[in-house]
Protein backbone atom coordinates (compact mmCIF):
# COMPACT_ATOMS: atom_id res chain seq x y z
CA UNK A 1 0.00 0.00 0.00
CA UNK A 2 1.29 3.46 -0.82
CA UNK A 3 0.18 7.02 -0.11
CA UNK A 4 -2.21 6.96 -3.07
CA UNK A 5 -4.24 4.17 -1.43
CA UNK A 6 -4.78 5.83 1.95
CA UNK A 7 -8.46 6.19 2.79
CA UNK A 8 -9.60 9.77 3.34
CA UNK A 9 -12.84 9.39 5.29
CA UNK A 10 -14.17 12.47 7.07
CA UNK A 11 -16.51 12.42 10.06
CA UNK A 12 -19.54 12.81 7.79
CA UNK A 13 -18.35 9.84 5.69
CA UNK A 14 -18.09 7.35 8.55
CA UNK A 15 -21.14 5.56 9.85
CA UNK A 16 -21.70 2.62 12.14
CA UNK A 17 -21.16 -0.59 10.21
CA UNK A 18 -18.42 0.77 7.92
CA UNK A 19 -15.87 -2.04 7.74
CA UNK A 20 -12.35 -2.45 6.39
CA UNK A 21 -10.23 -5.59 6.18
CA UNK A 22 -6.71 -6.34 5.00
CA UNK A 23 -4.28 -9.25 5.11
CA UNK A 24 -0.65 -9.40 6.14
CA UNK A 25 1.87 -12.24 6.28
CA UNK A 26 4.16 -12.40 9.30
CA UNK A 27 7.71 -12.93 8.09
CA UNK A 28 11.02 -13.71 9.72
CA UNK A 29 12.29 -10.27 8.78
CA UNK A 30 9.31 -8.57 10.49
CA UNK A 31 10.00 -10.42 13.73
CA UNK A 32 13.74 -9.68 13.52
CA UNK A 33 13.15 -6.00 12.78
CA UNK A 34 10.59 -5.70 15.59
CA UNK A 35 13.11 -7.25 18.00
CA UNK A 36 15.78 -4.82 16.81
CA UNK A 37 13.49 -1.80 17.23
CA UNK A 38 12.07 -2.78 20.63
CA UNK A 39 15.02 -4.63 22.09
CA UNK A 40 12.78 -7.62 22.88
CA UNK A 41 14.92 -10.62 21.99
CA UNK A 42 13.02 -13.13 24.13
CA UNK A 43 13.97 -16.65 23.04
CA UNK A 44 10.25 -17.39 22.64
CA UNK A 45 10.42 -15.12 19.60
CA UNK A 46 13.98 -15.61 18.43
CA UNK A 47 15.19 -19.15 19.26
CA UNK A 48 13.44 -22.11 17.60
CA UNK A 49 15.24 -24.65 19.80
CA UNK A 50 14.09 -22.88 22.96
CA UNK A 51 10.53 -22.39 21.65
CA UNK A 52 10.30 -26.08 20.69
CA UNK A 53 10.56 -26.95 24.41
CA UNK A 54 7.57 -24.79 25.29
CA UNK A 55 3.85 -25.47 24.97
CA UNK A 56 3.87 -23.59 21.65
CA UNK A 57 6.43 -25.92 20.00
CA UNK A 58 7.57 -23.14 17.62
CA UNK A 59 8.64 -19.52 17.81
CA UNK A 60 5.78 -17.10 18.27
CA UNK A 61 5.49 -13.55 17.04
CA UNK A 62 5.71 -10.64 19.49
CA UNK A 63 2.18 -9.83 20.61
CA UNK A 64 2.75 -6.13 20.12
CA UNK A 65 3.91 -6.72 16.55
CA UNK A 66 0.59 -8.40 15.85
CA UNK A 67 -1.29 -5.60 17.65
CA UNK A 68 0.65 -2.95 15.75
CA UNK A 69 -1.35 -3.73 12.63
CA UNK A 70 -4.28 -2.00 14.33
CA UNK A 71 -2.29 1.20 13.77
CA UNK A 72 -2.29 0.44 10.04
CA UNK A 73 -6.05 -0.18 10.23
CA UNK A 74 -6.59 3.35 11.55
CA UNK A 75 -3.90 5.25 9.65
CA UNK A 76 -4.46 3.70 6.26
CA UNK A 77 -8.03 2.42 6.18
CA UNK A 78 -10.48 3.48 8.87
CA UNK A 79 -10.63 6.47 8.62
CA UNK A 80 -7.18 6.75 7.03
CA UNK A 81 -5.32 10.05 6.75
CA UNK A 82 -7.87 11.85 8.96
CA UNK A 83 -7.52 9.42 11.86
CA UNK A 84 -5.59 9.78 15.09
CA UNK A 85 -5.55 6.73 17.37
CA UNK A 86 -6.42 7.91 20.88
CA UNK A 87 -6.72 4.66 22.80
CA UNK A 88 -6.83 0.94 22.32
CA UNK A 89 -7.69 -2.10 24.34
CA UNK A 90 -7.05 -5.57 23.00
CA UNK A 91 -6.61 -9.12 24.23
CA UNK A 92 -4.33 -11.75 22.77
CA UNK A 93 -6.37 -14.95 22.68
CA UNK A 94 -4.04 -17.20 20.67
CA UNK A 95 -0.40 -16.94 19.62
CA UNK A 96 0.70 -15.89 16.17
CA UNK A 97 3.43 -17.97 14.55
CA UNK A 98 6.00 -16.93 11.99
CA UNK A 99 4.92 -17.29 8.35
CA UNK A 100 1.28 -17.00 9.38
CA UNK A 101 -1.30 -15.00 7.44
CA UNK A 102 -3.28 -12.47 9.47
CA UNK A 103 -6.62 -10.94 8.61
CA UNK A 104 -7.06 -7.54 10.28
CA UNK A 105 -10.64 -6.34 10.46
CA UNK A 106 -12.25 -3.19 11.81
CA UNK A 107 -15.88 -2.12 12.01
CA UNK A 108 -17.16 1.22 13.26
CA UNK A 109 -19.49 0.55 16.18
CA UNK A 110 -19.92 4.10 17.46
CA UNK A 111 -19.57 7.73 16.43
CA UNK A 112 -19.76 10.96 18.43
CA UNK A 113 -20.33 14.14 16.43
CA UNK A 114 -19.53 16.35 19.43
CA UNK A 115 -16.13 14.80 20.23
CA UNK A 116 -15.34 13.65 16.67
CA UNK A 117 -14.43 10.24 18.10
CA UNK A 118 -15.31 6.95 16.45
CA UNK A 119 -15.18 3.57 18.16
CA UNK A 120 -13.91 0.62 16.15
CA UNK A 121 -14.37 -3.06 16.96
CA UNK A 122 -11.10 -4.62 15.84
CA UNK A 123 -10.11 -8.24 15.37
CA UNK A 124 -7.11 -10.10 14.03
CA UNK A 125 -7.65 -13.65 12.85
CA UNK A 126 -5.33 -16.20 11.34
CA UNK A 127 -5.81 -17.46 7.79
CA UNK A 128 -8.07 -20.24 9.09
CA UNK A 129 -10.41 -17.81 10.85
CA UNK A 130 -9.19 -18.40 14.41
CA UNK A 131 -9.45 -15.26 16.53
CA UNK A 132 -6.00 -14.19 17.74
CA UNK A 133 -6.70 -10.62 18.90
CA UNK A 134 -9.95 -8.98 19.96
CA UNK A 135 -10.15 -5.30 20.77
CA UNK A 136 -11.61 -1.85 20.59
CA UNK A 137 -10.10 1.41 19.33
CA UNK A 138 -11.03 5.06 19.96
CA UNK A 139 -10.07 7.28 17.04
CA UNK A 140 -10.27 11.04 16.64
CA UNK A 141 -11.39 12.02 13.16
CA UNK A 142 -9.51 15.21 12.27
CA UNK A 143 -11.17 18.13 10.53
pLDDT tens-digit readout, 62-115:
999 999 999 999 999 999 999 999 999 999 999 999 999 999 999 999 999 999
What is the rounded CA–CA span in Å between residue 48 and residue 60? Answer: 9
What does the pLDDT read at residue 112? Answer: 97
Residues in the chain: 143
Which domains does the chain possess?
Answer: 3-27+61-141 (3.10.129.10)
Number of Cβ within a 10 Å radius of residue 115: 11
Residue 126 has pLDDT above 70, yes or no: yes
pLDDT in tens, 45-62: 999 999 999 999 999 999
CA–CA distance, 69 with 103 (Å, rounded to integer): 10
Phi, psi torsion values for 141, nearest 5 degrees: -100, 110
Amino acid sequence: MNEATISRYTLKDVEEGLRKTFKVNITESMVSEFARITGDYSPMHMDEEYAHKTEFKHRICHGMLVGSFLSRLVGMHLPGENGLLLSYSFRHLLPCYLNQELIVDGTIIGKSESTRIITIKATIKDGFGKLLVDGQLKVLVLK
